[in-house]
Structure 1
Amino acid sequence: MLQKYTHIIWDWNGTLLDDVDWCVTTINIIRKKNGLPVFESVEEYHSVFGFPIKDYYLRAGFDFEKVSFEKLAVEYIDLYHGDGCNFQLFPDAKKVLSKFQARGIRQVILSASERSNLLSQVVPLGIAPYFDEILGISDIYATSKVDIGKAYMNRTKPERALLIGDTTHDKQVADSLGVDCVLVATGHQSKRVLQEAAVVMDCLEDVANLLYIE
């Protein structure tokens, strides 16, 4: 996969940000509160998680006639960003970001997170200078990542772009944007599921090696 990419489009959660365990903890708090069994493992969580987020909540057992999706989404975000969160990057994230930057590759984050919440994670981790833009959605209901990506592509017209993500939805986004895609098996879906959709690497450093960046 030796390509001279001019732009890297990064997903955030589960790709650069190592938040899977915290996401399991967060959704388990809400499941327990609503009388649902908790996820016993990341593997069980993987078997349910996906996009659209509203469908994920249904697969997780929530009944929108008893509690609305909007209420659940707000509660989830409040818990996710509340006491106990200690967000960290994957161990190889900064190294890979630095390598891409040193090669003159333009980098952006494209996330389904609400933008102000996204910035509250990215900035304290000290990696904002690696990115030309940090792109998030305008509300917490996670519905229009593709639209934001298309607006970015139309505005910047990158010569050759690669999207790096951790879910099959990221591959769908890449296809909608007309860009290449590599997925990492460190995030919110299992490697088995990801391999049905795209090229899959075990970690970010493997992605860099795939692109012949040493």
Structure 2
Amino acid sequence: MVAGAGLEQSHPVRLPHSTVIDVVCWDWNGTLLDDTEVAMAAMNAVLHDRGLPVLPHVDAYRKVFGFPIQALYARLGVSDVDFQLAAGRYLELFPVHVERAQLHPGADAALRAIGRLGAEQVLISATIAEVLQAQLAPHAIAGHFDQILGITDAYASKADVVANWLESSGHDPRRVLMVGDTNHDEEIAEKLAVHFIRFARGHQEPPDHDRHPVVHHLRDIIEHLSGSRVGREGETALRQGLPGMASSVSGTLAGGLDTTGYEIPIAH
């Protein structure tokens, strides 16, 4: 990986100190699972087969990545006519190699610490549910989550999964925190009026704005939570879980979030 110079310090924007968090909704690919290099390698194989320029390093991948996915392929030189074939090839390659992907450093410790603070944790991914379970299995973290939700097919929308979960859960959106690594995750959080923290070491370079906190290490999420009621009530557990480490908007999904082409064809 070629690391960018700005990856060592987290964004100064913080969650408001009056925030109360009852549940943390995690993204999987790129956020907890460090599979960016695997995804880039699969994409480069697709590009190489077509005589197109490959991505030289992970920073280049993060800069070009984004949704809708068909637009990503177009930016990389894949024509609309070739999109389905190229996407299909990617989906053949990615699952073969994702087994070698590891959790991001501090992922398990962060999950444990948040659990000790008393917050519910949910994992929602744009990966097909059965595939998601297979990807989770080697990492032994499924026990941290009250629910693990994936999409039903490759054309389904993660936005719908999150919105349906939130509605059925009965949780107040003002007390929900989403953690994700893409602009699409951020769009979902904003549409649902839940809190959001952006993880910068995933698939997409964070945008240049100050609407949400940005972290470069998963342990820093705990520090953001330390100012909330969850953090104050679990201060001792926080110290035990991660030694040395030091949410009010409302509404539900209204008007709809255009997710056409967002979930195809990359696991995220």
TM-score by length of 1: 0.91
Aligned partners of 2:186 and 2:22: how far apart in 1? 19
- Are 2:134 and 1:120 equivalent residues in the alignment? yes
TM-score by length of 2: 0.74
Contact kept? 2:24, 2:179, Cα under 8 Å: yes
User: Equivalent residue for 2:201?
Assistant: 186
**How is 1:155-166 mapped onto 2 (pairs within 5 angstroms)?**
155-159=168-172, 160-166=175-181
Q: CA deviation at 1:114?
A: 1.7
Q: CA deviation at 1:152?
A: 0.3
User: Equivalent residue for 1:61?
Assistant: 77
Aligned partner of residue 81 in structure 1, secondary structure = helix
**How is 1:48-197 mapped onto 2 (pairs within 5 angstroms)?**
48-65=64-81, 67-69=82-84, 71-83=85-97, 85-141=99-155, 143-159=156-172, 160-191=175-206, 193=207, 195=209
Cα distance change on mapping 1:83 and 1:115 into 2, 3 Å: same
* Identity percentage of aligned residues: 35
Aligned partners of 2:161 and 2:98: how far apart in 1? 31
Q: CA deviation at 1:177?
A: 1.9
1:142-176: CA deviation from partner (whole Å, max 9, x where unpaired): x5111111110110011310000111111101012
Aligned partners of 1:41 and 1:204: how far apart in 2? 22
What RMSD, in angstroms, separates the aligned Cα atoms of the two structures? 1.7
1:148 maps to a residue whose letter is: V
2:189 maps to a residue whose letter is: A
Aligned partner of residue 82 in structure 1, secondary structure = helix
* Matching residue within 49, 52, 62 for 1:36: 52
* Matching residue within 214, 217, 222 for 1:208: 222
Quick check: 26-35 or 43-52, which moved more? 43-52
The structure with higher relative contact order (CA 8 Å, sep 6+) is 2
Contact kept? 1:165, 1:171, Cα under 8 Å: yes
Q: Which runs of 5+ in 1 are unaligned?
A: none
Larger radius of gyration: 2
Aligned partners of 2:20 and 2:221: how far apart in 1? 14
Aligned partner of residue 64 in structure 1, secondary structure = coil
Contact kept? 1:108, 1:133, Cα under 8 Å: yes
Q: CA deviation at 1:75?
A: 1.7
Cα distance change on mapping 1:194 and 1:136 into 2, 3 Å: farther
1:162 maps to a residue whose letter is: L
Give the count of matched residue pairs. 210
1:103 maps to a residue whose letter is: L
Q: Which runs of 5+ in 2 are unaligned?
A: 1-14, 232-237, 239-268
